[in-house]
Each structure stands twice: as C-alpha cells, then as structure tokens.
Amino acid sequence: MIRFEHVTKRYADGTTAVDDLSFEVAEGELVTLVGPSGCGKTTTMKMVNRLIEPTSGQIYLDGSDISTVDPVELRRRIGYVIQQVGLFPHKTVLDNTATVPHLLGWQRKKARARAAELLDLVGLDPSVFGDRYPDQLSGGQRQRVGVARALAADPPVLLMDEPFGAVDPVVREHLQNEFLRLQSQVHKTVLFVTHDIEEAVRLGDRIAVYGEGRIEQFDPPTAVLGAPATPYVADFVGADRGLKRLSVTPIEPGDLVQPPIVHLDDPLPDAAARLAVDDPEARWAVVLDDAEHLHGWVSADALAGGGTVRDHSRRMAAWLPVGASLKQAFSTMLQHDAGWIAVLDGEHADHFLGVLTPARLHEALRRSIDADAKGGAREDVELETVSEA
Ligand SMILES: Nc1ncnc2c1ncn2[C@@H]1O[C@H](COP(=O)(O)OP(=O)(O)OP(=O)(O)O)[C@@H](O)[C@H]1O
Ligand SMILES: [Mg+2]
C-alpha cells in the first residue's frame, strides 16, 4: 500500500533527515515508527502526503508514484493526525469533524451526518459534544476529534504523528485501546509515529525502529523485544524488555495446566473420588456448572463431608479469555490476589480451557523469547529448566 524505495531527504542546510530509506507497509497494516527526537520520523510521514518532497528516491501509494499525483488529490486519500491536533477554534466539534467532507463538496446535511457517525465511533456522543468548541474539551477529547476528523472522508491511509503525545499516561492508554478497537473496525493502513517504545509495541503490527535517519529494525513487536537486531535497538527497547514483552505475548492453550474438574451438583463423595483418580496430590479442583462454564473452585479439604460441591465451592473472578496477554494475566492475578487464573475460550465466559499458574506464565514468556531468537514456533521450544508449580 505504501512503499519507500531508497528515499533520502536532505534539507537545505545539509542535514540528512532520512537516509536511503526502503520499506513497505501492507494494506490494513498498522506500522509504528519509533525512535529518538530528530531521527527523521516526521520527515518520513510528511513525504507520504507531500508536505515535504524527497531529495531522491520514490514513494508509491497503492502502486502509483506519488510524485506524479496532484498533492491535493493525494491528501484526500490520506488522513493526517498530529499532536497539536489543529482543530479550528471558532468551529464547533461537529463542523471541525465535517471539514474534509465539506471540502470534498458533500452536501451539508450528509457531511454533518457523517461527522456525527465518526464522533460516535471515537467515543464522543455527538449530541453532547457536537456543538461544543475545541476549548470546551479535555486534551484527550480534542485528540479524539482529531482522529474523527482524519477519518471523516474515509481515506484508506492514516498518518498519525504522536497523536497521543500530549495527554497524560492514563488517558493515553485509554486512547490507545480505543484506537485499536477502532482500527479493528476500519482497517486503515496506518503509519503511527511515537517516541514511546511502549506505545509502539502496543499498537504496531510491525515496528520500524529508527536510528539517525535509518531504520535499524522493522519487525513485529515480539521480534523487536525478543531479538533486537542491533545493540542500538537493544538499548532503545531497554533492559526491561522482558516485562514489555508480557503485553504482546498472548496466552495460548498449550500454556495451561489441567487441574481436576468437578461439577456444581456432584455429590461430595463423587467429587472426592474424582480428585483421587485425577490427581491425588491436588489441593483444589475447578468447579464448572452444567453448561461447562466456570463457576469457581473448591478446596480438596472441603470434599470430605456430605452434600454437593455447590455447598462448598467458591466463585472465581480471576479469569481471562485465551489470547489475552500475559501482562493481563499477571495483573489479573495481582488484582485478585490469586495463585492462578482460569482461561476460557471466549470473551463471554465460555468454555473452560485450563488454568494459568505463575510458573506457566514465566515459562510461556521464556518460550516466546527463545522462539523469536531462534526463529521457530513457541510450542517447539524446549526449555532447559522448567519448574512446575
Ligand atoms: N526544515 C528543516 N530544515 C533543516 N533541518 C530540518 C528541517 N526539518 C527537520 N530538520 C531536521 O531533520 C532531522 C529530522 O527531523 P524530524 O522532524 O523528521 O525528526 P523527528 O524524528 O520527527 O523528531 P521528534 O521526535 O523530535 O519529532 C532533525 O535533525 C531536524 O533538526
Ligand atoms: Mg516529529
């Protein structure tokens, strides 16, 4: 969708901002450009919508050399979001959002309807925010209007230059999550600039790590964190990259432990017998209801008397869907002060798949690091020492 071929930008004073850059971004892909201040990220972006012309090399958009495309025509196909947002202060939120459809000559009613739809999509109720002016919004809300405006004409490509740079970390994480949700609906081809490696890792399908005017590594987040291509990249992603990696490593079914399972209406003697067969050492069992949905757990000691499992089982709130990140798993364990979490096969408390223990979490992380370093699949990695919980 976007292709750079040997692109160099030298400014008039001799500064080489971008040096012989070649890369390609696939349709629907979200690529984050990350690197220190002054390494050429903004220059790279502005060459895509021809706010800056390269000194040499070619840039292709959807197969055509953009130097042959009229810049105004080009920019209609490219949404642009910047840190300072650049909303018109004298226009309402709704009119700001409708700017591009207006310029494209849409009828006023259609443009406003589209703007309302977009505001809704970015989480701003148009009936509440539509008639406000930009200075009546919080920083995070302004940023969302900026995203809505960039999407209004439905361009296939979005350029985002530190769009969440000016908001505090909590709001930023919120905006990032919203943006990921939005992207899963709109599937734009996105170039997203940030100097925050955490943000690059969370958002990017792939990350381009910039050194001075050059890309040092262009890989998926797990590879950048797990197998930095150069000492520079290793230094940039930081010594705590194992921790960062937790947030991009999903829980897989193979990571799970299978504890004994009993059902709510099992008589206690039956449940005790089940434990004795499945795992005489087990100190607890998972409790499922008739539909095989997670109910909670029961301690082995509680199975000695009469009655049913229901009388002694406890609810379990610490669960996640498979595919959630190891970081979510870790924080769920901490939040519930739980020694394990249940893993289910869907967002809606569907079937129980198994449990993740701290030892298995650690193991999954090490496997995924090794798999990237060796270029294989995670389940093929043999760990040298594996401690069982
Ligand atoms: N108009 C210009 N004339 C001369 N040099 C420029 C010009 N614009 C940018 N530069 C230089 O080009 C280099 C790259 O700038 P660029 O704005 O692309 O960096 P950046 O990676 O976006 O940095 P930041 O993270 O601070 O936004 C810098 O050294 C900068 O000083
Ligand atoms: Mg910049």
Say if 389 falls within a structural domain.
Answer: no
The Å distance, Cα 174 to ligand 1 centre, comes to: 29
Say if 384 falls within a structural domain.
Answer: no
CA gap 339, 247 in Å, rounded: 20
- Which residue lies with its CA nearest to atom 22 of ligand 1? 42
For every residue of 264-306, DSSP letters joined together read TTSBHHHHHHHHHHH-TT-SEEEEE-TTSBEEEEEEGGGGGSS
| Tokens read off for 376 | 């294989």
Say if 380 falls within a structural domain.
Answer: no
CA gap 368, 290 in Å, rounded: 36
**Burial class, 170, CB count within 10 angstroms (exposed 0-12 / middle 13-18 / buried 19+):** exposed
Q: Which residue reads 């190891």 in tokens?
A: 326
The Å distance, Cα 145 to ligand 2 centre, comes to: 21
pLDDT of residue 85: 67
- Give Cβ neighbours of residue 240 (< 8 Å, ≥ 6 apart): none
154, 24: one domain: yes
Q: State whether the beta carbon of 84 lies less than 6 angstroms from ligand 1.
A: no
Pairing between β-strand 284-288 and β-strand 294-299 as defined by DSSP bridges: antiparallel
Say if 48 falls within a structural domain.
Answer: yes
* pLDDT category of residue 76 using cuts at 50, 70 and 90: confident
| Domain CATH for 67 | 3.40.50.300
The pTM assigned to this predicted structure is 0.75
Nearest to 238 by CA among 206, 196, 191: 196
- Segments forming the whole domain that contains residue 261: 253-364
| Domain CATH for 337 | 3.10.580.10
140, 96: one domain: yes
- Which residue lies with its CA nearest to atom 4 of ligand 1? 11
Task: Indicate the residue type of 73.
Answer: E
The Å distance, Cα 12 to ligand 2 centre, comes to: 18
Say if 379 falls within a structural domain.
Answer: no
104, 202: one domain: yes
User: Is there a contact between 188 and 219 (Cβ–Cβ < 8 Å)?
Assistant: no
Say if 64 falls within a structural domain.
Answer: yes
First to last CA, the chain: 48
pLDDT of residue 226: 81
Q: State whether the beta carbon of 141 lies less than 6 angstroms from ligand 1.
A: no
213 Cα nearest atom in ligand 1: 14
**Burial class, 108, CB count within 10 angstroms (exposed 0-12 / middle 13-18 / buried 19+):** exposed
Nearest to 14 by CA among 60, 72, 55, 68: 55
| pLDDT tens profile 235-275 | 988 877 777 888 888 899 999 999 999 999 999 999 998 88
User: Is there a contact between 192 and 203 (Cβ–Cβ < 8 Å)?
Assistant: yes
193 Cα nearest atom in ligand 1: 22
pLDDT of residue 1: 94
Q: State whether the beta carbon of 209 lies less than 6 angstroms from ligand 1.
A: no
Q: State whether the beta carbon of 39 lies less than 6 angstroms from ligand 1.
A: yes
CA gap 361, 352 in Å, rounded: 18
127, 258: one domain: no
Say if 344 falls within a structural domain.
Answer: yes
The Å distance, Cα 202 to ligand 2 centre, comes to: 19
Strand ranges of the sheet holding 284-288, from the earlier edge strand across to the other edge: 261-263, 284-288, 294-299, 314-315
Which residue, 197, 214, 248, sits at the end of a domain?
Answer: 248
| pLDDT tens profile 295-322 | 999 998 888 888 899 999 999 889 999 9
The Å distance, Cα 199 to ligand 2 centre, comes to: 15
pLDDT of residue 387: 47
Q: Domain count for the chain, please give it.
A: 2
Residue range 28-43: mean pLDDT, rounded: 94
337, 190: one domain: no
Say if 383 falls within a structural domain.
Answer: no
51, 112: one domain: yes
CA gap 38, 315 in Å, rounded: 53
- Which residue lies with its CA nearest to atom 17 of ligand 1? 42
Q: Which contiguous run of DSSP H or E holds residue 362? A: helix 358-374
47, 133: one domain: yes
The Å distance, Cα 246 to ligand 2 centre, comes to: 28
103, 231: one domain: yes
User: Is there a contact between 39 and 211 (Cβ–Cβ < 8 Å)?
Assistant: yes
Q: State whether the beta carbon of 195 lies less than 6 angstroms from ligand 1.
A: yes
| pLDDT tens profile 323-369 | 888 989 999 999 988 889 999 987 665 789 999 999 999 999 888 87
Q: State whether the beta carbon of 328 lies less than 6 angstroms from ligand 1.
A: no
| Tokens read off for 312 | 């002694």
183, 315: one domain: no
pLDDT of residue 388: 44
Q: State whether the beta carbon of 97 lies less than 6 angstroms from ligand 1.
A: no
- For residue 389, pLDDT over 60 is answered with no
168, 190: one domain: yes
The Å distance, Cα 214 to ligand 1 centre, comes to: 13
DSSP 8-state assignment for residue 325: B
